[in-house]
Amino acid sequence: MPFFKELRRRKTGLKTEKTDKTDRPSNGSTDSNGSNGAVAPSKSSSTLNSVYGSSTPPSSIQPHQSTPTLATSKSQTTMNSLPQRPMPLSGVSNRSSFIGLNTPSINGTITPKMPTSAFAPRIISISDNSWVHQKVLLIYGQIGEALEKLLDGTLTVSHHQDNFPATIWPVNDSHFKALVHLTPGPNRLRFDFSSPKVVSNMTSVPAHSSWMSINFLPLINSPPLQLVILLGKDSPGTYDAVPERKQREGNNLDTAIRKFRMAAYLWQAFTGEQMYRHSFGRRCFRFEEEWQTGSLTFRDKEIGQMRNEAKVHVIRCDKTVKELRNLDIAQQHGNATRKGELFTIAMAAVKKHFKPVAGQKQYISLLLLDSHWDTTAKTITGHAALGGGSGEVQLAIFGSQALQSYPTSIEEVVPAFSDCTRTNTNFVANDCDESGSNWEAANIGIGAHLHETGHLFGCPHQESGIMLRDYVRFNRTFLCREPYSTRTKSPGLRLCLPKDECGWHRLDALRFKNHPCFRLPTDAPLNADDSIQVWPADNGNVIVTAVTGVAFVEIFANGDDICHAWIEFTNSNGQSGGPPRQIVLTESDLKARLPDEKKAKKLRITVHSVGQGFYDIEDFGMLVRSKSKTVKLPNGQLGYKGCKLGNSSQEGSQPQQVILETAHIQTKLLTSIKVYHGFALDGIEFLYEDSTSQLFGKKGGSPGGSEFSFDTRRGEILLGFYLRAGLWIDGLEILTSLGRRSGVYGNATGGSGHTLIPPRGYSIAGVSGSCGQWVDSFSLVITR
């Protein structure tokens, strides 16, 4: 008992002593809180402010801690202005550096932090709390603010909740670039800088750190870019590699899959950053993913870590490896007679594998694994660089001749683009004499395959960028310092800034902005009709209408294969009300955008709709001045023929034209339209109140036709037509001023859809076209 009494006495004394120390005012203090009238914040409050400073918006991940409400009076405010004892720092930005022990861990544990350093990494390419839609994000930044002395060192990226191993990236002249792996949802990231030239008092913890939150929202409502490796039916599943590579990492199918997947994520990171630089948001294509052993870090394979990563489909075609390699289709040979045959073989193989159905478009980038460097013939066999497609499949194909130089994981990106090992042409190709070293071979392989993928997304060759051959600088996107180049026989750039990198051309970005694979959740839904209508009009104007809106117009002078001038009608941040559905073009305005030496040449333009449709005007001047496009109405007014649908190519096809009597006789009233049709449109009969009628085409198809009546008591009139058309007119639907639709008469799924409604300020004066066995061309005649 005496022992317990003594123990209780000691506990009481300790508690009293601790309380006394806590409550005792400091020297010179007049307040029991010890701060000359200021209320000292609690430990949780000061910690929260120090980590999530008020100068930067709070992270999307915040600790669940409460901050006491501090009541402030006028007298208290006066007293707060008096000198105070030193307080814990608060209100520091997320770009703080920590000097001292107990720094915040990546898992979110919050502990006090000490004063900041000038060497904190500063992320330039993306702001805190941004939203992205790709698993691997490219970032660019600098060390500290504008430092007088440039530093080299390393940047360590620690990932959210340590769910991906920390990665290390070089810092050159105080600049850095890094690839950041993200998981769906909010990601809290830490960036640590270290350098032998910057000494830290404490070496046990990172001395110079920044924090950033990035929100990753995967997109699953957009069609994916499918990744495919194609093999011959007897292929061993290997690719060309030098003996050292085979020994170190192997050249089997598993390695090929990991390299191709990593290259695809580089495409995605590059494209997402480029779209952001073009002010179109962080748009990018997505991949079909599956739950599998991860490969974006080499550690995953070692420990069997499963992740959701891009799926690479492995397909065997019905040709042997020998048959594939005997096709003389090497793209660099102008005398190749069967260049397109390998594309045809690949197209047949992917169609058999994916089995696309109508309306389900597939976008596929394919690697030909059996490509082989023939050391005797000095050519790459079994290789083709092509991209395009039609119908339900858009396809890009490229060979595996440079695959050995690709990185297999994020950790290998910098080493791969820094490897100056000379290309040994006894085993592998020096493609186009631009792959003289391993890093240059990686440029050509990854970059040229991305070029062909651009083709499958609808991009033609451009005046600059990836679609020219700018991918020889693809490495600069991921490095700040470039190694020696055998292609230019010169040292690489000491510092690779964004202006030195390759990129997507502005016209490529404009195509991507509205592409189905690049759509964002905030984009408005599109009408299925992607067509464009062109209407010659008064005063030499040409009116262009599109249901989905007009995106941009490419301008070509006669002889130009590549576009150098264009007009874009889409706001970078999205216009209120969306893109314009009607624009007016004039010859003088279009030619003003061309260089002086080309202004006298014939003008060709291509109009692109937001819905990915396009319309070519081969000779703009002829369209404006052609008398065949004008019609004189019986009352003396001028009418104008819109663009023609159908080819007028049937045997015995004869031109026909009907000018509606309602267009020039005010007392006439159109009461109904009778449509004659079978599997195509045979004719249209316009019926009037006085029992007269006008027929365009002929009375074929189903006996008696199908009649659609207007509600004349409510003033309903003909607004326009929706047509299904290809080589001829498959079907027709009547549109009225009250928003009613008749439904499609004829073949409702034939050809493609086109909405014919006169531009604002014009009305329907008649119809024009031609008829053979059935109607094989059709256009509206409009008038003021």
Q: Taking the mean position of all CA atoms in its chain, how far away is CA 343?
A: 25
Residues in CB range of 381: below 8 A, 6 or more apart: 324, 325, 326, 327, 330, 371, 372, 374
Q: What's the CA angle centered on 120, arms 493 and 137, to 5 degrees?
A: 60
In contact, 143 and 171? CB cutoff 8 Å: yes
Active site residue 452: yes
Beta strands in 537-680 (DSSP E): 542-546, 550-557, 565-568, 582-585, 603-609, 614-617, 630-632, 638-641, 654-659, 670-677
CA distance linking residue 407 with residue 267, whole number of Å: 13
List the beta bridge partners of residue 115.
none
The interaxial angle of helices 253-277 and 506-513, nearest 10 deg, is 100
* CB contact at 8 A, 348 and 389: no
Q: How far apart are the first and last CA of the chain?
A: 112
Angle between helices 253-277 and 438-456 (to 10 degrees): 70
**In which element (H, E) is residue 329 found?**
none
Helix (H, G, I), strand (E, B), or coil: what is residue 701?
Answer: coil
Q: Which of 452, 501, 568, 661 is catalytic?
A: 452
Q: How far apart are CA 735 and CA 720, in angstroms?
A: 5
3-state secondary structure of 63: coil
How far apart (Å, rounded) are the C-alpha atoms in residues 680 and 624? 32
d(CA 723, CA 756): 8
The answer to whether residues 567 and 542 touch, using CB atoms and an 8 Å cutoff, is: no
Q: Are 397 and 226 in contact (CB under 8 A)?
A: no
Q: Which residues are catalytic?
A: 452
